[in-house]
Each structure stands twice: as C-alpha cells, then as structure tokens.
Amino acid sequence: MSDPTSSPEASAKRPGWARRYRRWLVDAGLVLAVYVGVQLYHTRDAPHGAAPPISGALLSGQAVDLSAYAGKPVLLHFWATWCSICRLERGSIESIAGDYPVLAVASQSGTAAEVAAYAREHGLKVPVLIDEDGALAARYGVKAFPSSFVIDGEGKIHNVEVGYTTELGLRLRLWWAGI
C-alpha cells in the first residue's frame, strides 16, 4: 500500500520547507548581489593601493598628516554634518577611536567654526579635519557619505566602505589590516 502524501500530486500541492528554504536562499542571494553592486558603484572612483596624502589642521588647531599613522592600521572616515546616516554611525566611530587611530574628515560641512560648534554640541572626541570644499573627498573618490577607508600600516588602502557600516564590521576590517 502506498502513502498518499508521497505522491507527486501531493508534493506539488504543499509548499514544503525545501521550496521555502530554496526561495529564501535565492532572495538572500539577490539582496547580496544588489548590495555588492551598489558598493562597487559607489567605490568605482576610490583609489586603490597607496593612500593619497592628506594633511591639514584639526579642529583643535594641531597639524595632522596621514603619514604620521604609518606602522598601524587607521580608519579614515569621511562624513558630513548634514548626513543622517553619519549621525547613526557616530557612536561606532567614537568607540573604534578608543582602540584604533581614527581620522575623521568633515567634508562639505561648513567652515571650521561651524564644524567645531557641531562637534561641541554632539560631544565628538575623534580628531576632525575640515574639508570645506570637498577637495579631500574628491581625492579619495568619495561620492556619498559616510565613506570609510581602512588603511594598513604600510599606507595602502585595505578596504573601502560606503554608507552605514557596523562597528563590528569596521573593527574586523581594521584587525584584518593589522595582521
């Protein structure tokens, strides 16, 4: 005697876990493909290899040069005061700065005085370099904010992320750049 639930007609009528599982995998693959495509599009003009030089004065007035971070991985983080995603990510960047060198570049956010007022109001502790006209962001091919560059101890760009990135993701990238 055969089992009526094992017939091809019965299998076709019920959705089954295998069909749902397969659909979830296809959906996850599509989401991943879109994410990777967007990342590739946003980073298409980003430099590869040696990081372009950056120097200037921090909000504190202290001179800074990216080459001063040689020997250890550094997070170069481009952000803007008007960027809502940058605000969401701010706590993660501050936390990372407790363990890794971080150089934040406030791009197209106003004058040094305006950015300093914003930094005081929001309690920013990371070193902030002003990029009033966006020239530094252009040098790094930044098309959207926030954009984060993980630069290894040899001064080479190890990773580029555009948009919101988790603290854990940035920490893993910095760790990887340091080994």
At 4 the pLDDT is: 53
pLDDT in tens, 104-153: 999 999 999 999 999 999 999 999 999 999 999 999 999 899 999 999 99
Q: What share of the chain is helix, strand, coil (3-state, %, to 5)?
A: 45, 20, 35
Cis before 146 (ω within 30)? yes
Residue 92 to residue 90: CA distance in whole angstroms: 5
Residue 122 to residue 159: CA distance in whole angstroms: 28
How far, in whole angstroms, is CA 31 from its chain's centroid? 18
pTM to 2 decimal places: 0.80
Amino acid at 38: V
Helices (H) and strands (E) in the chain, counts: 6, 8
Residue 84 to residue 5: CA distance in whole angstroms: 54
**Would you call 150 helix, strand, or coil by DSSP?**
strand
Residue 1 to residue 17: CA distance in whole angstroms: 26
Query: Does the pLDDT of residue 7 top 60, yes or no?
Result: no
Query: Are 174 and 100 contacting, i.e. CB atoms less than 8 angstroms apart?
Result: yes
Query: Does the pLDDT of residue 39 top 80, yes or no?
Result: no
Count of all residues that appear for the chain in the document: 179
Reading the block at residue 10, the tokens are: 């019965």
Query: Are 130 and 67 contacting, i.e. CB atoms less than 8 angstroms apart?
Result: no
pLDDT in tens, 75-114: 999 999 999 999 999 999 999 999 999 999 999 999 999 9
